[in-house]
Amino acid sequence: MANGVYDSIPPAIAEIVAKQPMFFVATCPLSPEGHLNLSPKGSDSFRMLSANRVAYLDITGSGNETAAHLAENGRITFMFCTFEGEPAIIRLYGRGHVATRDSEEFAELRPLFPEHPGVRQIIVADLTRVQQSCGFGVPLLDFVGQRDRMRRWAAGVGEERLIEYRQRKNARSIDGLPAPLATE
């Protein structure tokens, strides 16, 4: 498929995205002094809900920048790179929001993802632009497997302590923006 810009995810790009074991999520606050956030994601956590809507299962982590930025302004970009086979970079631009664990939307979407300890929320985005570029500069890498340390950590901490952790560590961004959390 040639480089290009699309209003929605064409089938050939959907096929490339579905094969990738990792992706990146970028968001930023409106303030020019605020910190742009770029996070790698994996663990079979991304789903294409339609040609213009995507979601990913967000696991409890040390920060909650994506949720805070989405609550403030909704802007989000996903990037996928092929590290084997034909080179390609896919960027999905859109407006996103958080489906918290106590929402109906979370309950509807949760069955689409595998079981995983430490699930914090689901990030949902409506796409406004899809772009493919060459990826000629992306190195070839061998995928060995997903890391299990986060899974083991979350399982070891337990759900009750994860709720406390999220309230303590995930309620605000590093720039002080509030991040939506379930009222668990």
42-58 pLDDT per residue, tens: 999 999 999 999 999 99
169 close to 181: Cβ distance less than 8 angstroms: no
pLDDT at 1 > cutoff 60: no
Give mean pLDDT, residues 146-173: 95
Give mean pLDDT, residues 95-116: 97
Spatial distance between the Cα atoms of 57 and 35, rounded to a whole number of angstroms: 23
How much is the pLDDT for 25? 98
Q: Is the dihedral of CA 97, 101, 106, 111 positive or negative?
A: positive
CA distances (Å), 116 to each of 67, 80, 97, in order? Answer: 19, 22, 21
Spatial distance between the Cα atoms of 31 and 29, rounded to a whole number of angstroms: 5
How much is the pLDDT for 92? 98
Angle at 129 between CA 126 and CA 134, to 5 degrees: 130
Portion of the chain with pLDDT greater than 70, in percent: 98
Read off the pLDDT of residues 7-21 as tens digits, 9 standing for 90 and up. 999 999 999 999 999
DSSP-derived letter for residue 142 is: -
Write the CB contacts of 71 (distance below 8 Å, at least 6 apart in sequence): 97, 98, 177, 178, 179, 180
Spatial distance between the Cα atoms of 63 and 117, rounded to a whole number of angstroms: 17
How much is the pLDDT for 182? 87
pLDDT at 2 > cutoff 80: no
Question: Residue holding tokens 């920060």?
Answer: 63
Spatial distance between the Cα atoms of 125 and 53, rounded to a whole number of angstroms: 6
pTM recorded for the entire structure: 0.96
Question: Residue holding tokens 């709720």?
Answer: 163
3 — pLDDT class (breaks 50, 70, 90) = confident
CATH code for the domain defined by 4-169: 2.30.110.10
Spatial distance between the Cα atoms of 126 and 129, rounded to a whole number of angstroms: 9
Mean pLDDT score across all residues of the chain:
96
Read off the pLDDT of residues 70-95 as tens digits, 9 standing for 90 and up. 999 999 999 999 999 999 999 999 99
Helix 159-169 with 149-157: angle, nearest 10 deg: 100
Strand partners, 41: 23
